[in-house]
Amino acid sequence: MNTAPKFDPYPPVREPNYPRWFLIGAVPVLGSSQLMMRSDISWDDLFVIVGFIGVAVLWLLAFLLRVLVYCLNWHSANYYTKKAQQLQQDWWAHHRQKVALIEAVLVGGACSNPEQRQHLFSPDHQPPTPDSTPEGATIRLLQVFGDEVAERERQLANLLVLQWQAQQPEPLVMQPLACYWQGSLATWQAFVEQMTKCFADVRLPEEPEPWQGIRSLDSIIERLQGAPVEARILCAGCQSSPPGPESLLPAGEAALLWLLGPEGGVRFSRGEWFDAETEHLVTVAERALQQGQLTAPPQCCVSFSQPGVPGLSAHGWNTSQYRQDANFGALGSLEAMVVQTLAAAYADQHQVPCAWLANDPHHTLALGIVEPDDSIR
């Protein structure tokens, strides 16, 4: 569980019972006073008076010590409470850090450019018709050929670069701080080769960091905190799922790319992850709202179907209206990046927060909220 720190209350000390203390203290004082008012004080009376005075002094010391213990406890509890609140505030401030999506490219069976991507949210949008094959249903890109998954993914990597080039208004000069890749090393090498042809001034490493879902996003947000405004991290990937007769969804394929920076675009949050064995999905969803400082779920939630996982529709999350199963088919490990890309497109177009929900390589589910760029409001 990824929860804010919780602290037990500081052990309290009861406030002194002042009437009782004063009543006890009055006994030796009154006793010694009565004896001292007598005119014929004997030596025995003096011993008694000294005894009363001794008892009064001991009472006073005990009373002062009791008050001191109470005051020290009060101050310690006050300091403890403020420190605990500060640690919780610091945790939430860190947990609410974000990163900006500067550029995004998404090519799939339902869209290949930003205009088609925005059209996915239109009421008159019609999803692509799956193709029937002897192996099973598929949703494929017309620009990609062949039956071998590895070859199709290499073509997807090339197509991704070409689409990025088509979206660039001017030549791109960049050396990313880091590169993350969802897919095989062979498809990364095809991507780098095509990048060299299209963007000669962009330098990419021989081996990228593997995309690890929400863990990688968390690491990127951490890395870009305090970085220069021009700092960039590149995330990309491609997936061509093989068809299967027992698959619930048609085999899909897609490729996408993110260029992330400290600011200058819609904002990705760290998101929240859900493990079915340790937490309730509703609790995680509430924490996602708290992370985004929202009081109610966003009107739009981009998702893929998650068989066997309890839904959130009964709790105000609109997870069915923009479900992407029919648009992309089964995308395996790439589906989370796809729904995040689409959520970013919706947030940018409508200037409202948009939620996303998908699988994750290390958890049952991951979900989060993309916020519009508040610098342009």
More confident residue, 15 or 228: 228
Q: Provide mean pLDDT across the span 242-270.
A: 92
Most confident of 17-21, 120-124, 333-337: 333-337
Q: Which segments within 139-278 are labelled E, that is strand?
A: 178-182, 209-210, 233-240, 253-261, 266-269, 272-274
Would the pLDDT of 376 be above 80?
A: no
28: pLDDT confidence band, cut at 50, 70 and 90? Answer: low
Res. 101: pLDDT tops 70: yes
What H or E segment, with its residue span, contains residue 206? none
Question: Which of 30-34, 74-78, 235-239, 322-326 has the highest average model confidence (pLDDT)?
Answer: 235-239
Look at residue 42 and tell me whether its pLDDT is greater than 70: no
Q: What is the mean pLDDT of residues 55-70?
A: 74
Q: Is residue 21 predicted with pLDDT exceeding 70?
A: no
181, 256 contact by CB (below 8 A): no
Q: Which two three-digit tokens encode residue 178?
A: 């880091």
Q: What percent of the chain has pLDDT over 70?
A: 88
Return the minimum-mean-pLDDT range out of 4-18, 82-96, 273-287, 356-370.
Answer: 4-18
pLDDT beyond 80 at 167: yes
Q: What is the per-residue burial (b if ≥16 Cβ within 10 Å, else e) of 347-369? A: bbeeeebbbbbbbbbebbbbbbb
Task: Encode pLDDT of 102-151 as tens digits.
Answer: 999 999 999 999 999 999 999 889 999 998 888 889 999 888 898 899 99
Under the banding of pLDDT at 50, 70 and 90, the label for residue 16 is confident
State the Cα–Cα distance between residues 157 and 182, nearest whole angstrom.
Answer: 11
**Residue that wins the pLDDT comparison between 96 and 20:** 96
Rounded CA separation 98/88 (Å):
18
CB atoms within 10 A of CB 370: 30
pTM, whole model, 2 decimals?
0.84
Does residue 343 register a pLDDT over 60?
A: yes
Contacts of 363 (CB under 8 A, 6+ apart): 213, 214, 273, 274, 275
Domain positions in the chain? 18-94, 96-376
Helix (H) / strand (E) element for 131: namely strand 131-133
Across the range 261-284, mean pLDDT stands at 91
Say if residue 59's pLDDT is above 70: no
Q: Is the pLDDT at 13 greater than 70, yes or no? A: yes
Instruction: Give 253's contacts (C-beta < 8 A, 6+ positions apart).
Output: 108, 109, 139, 140, 141, 144, 152, 153, 156, 238, 239, 240, 241, 329, 331
Q: Specify the pLDDT at position 225.
A: 93
- The domain defined by 96-376 carries CATH number 3.40.47.10: yes
Res. 273 pLDDT band, cuts 50 70 90: very high
Phi, psi of 308 (to 5 degrees): 85, 0
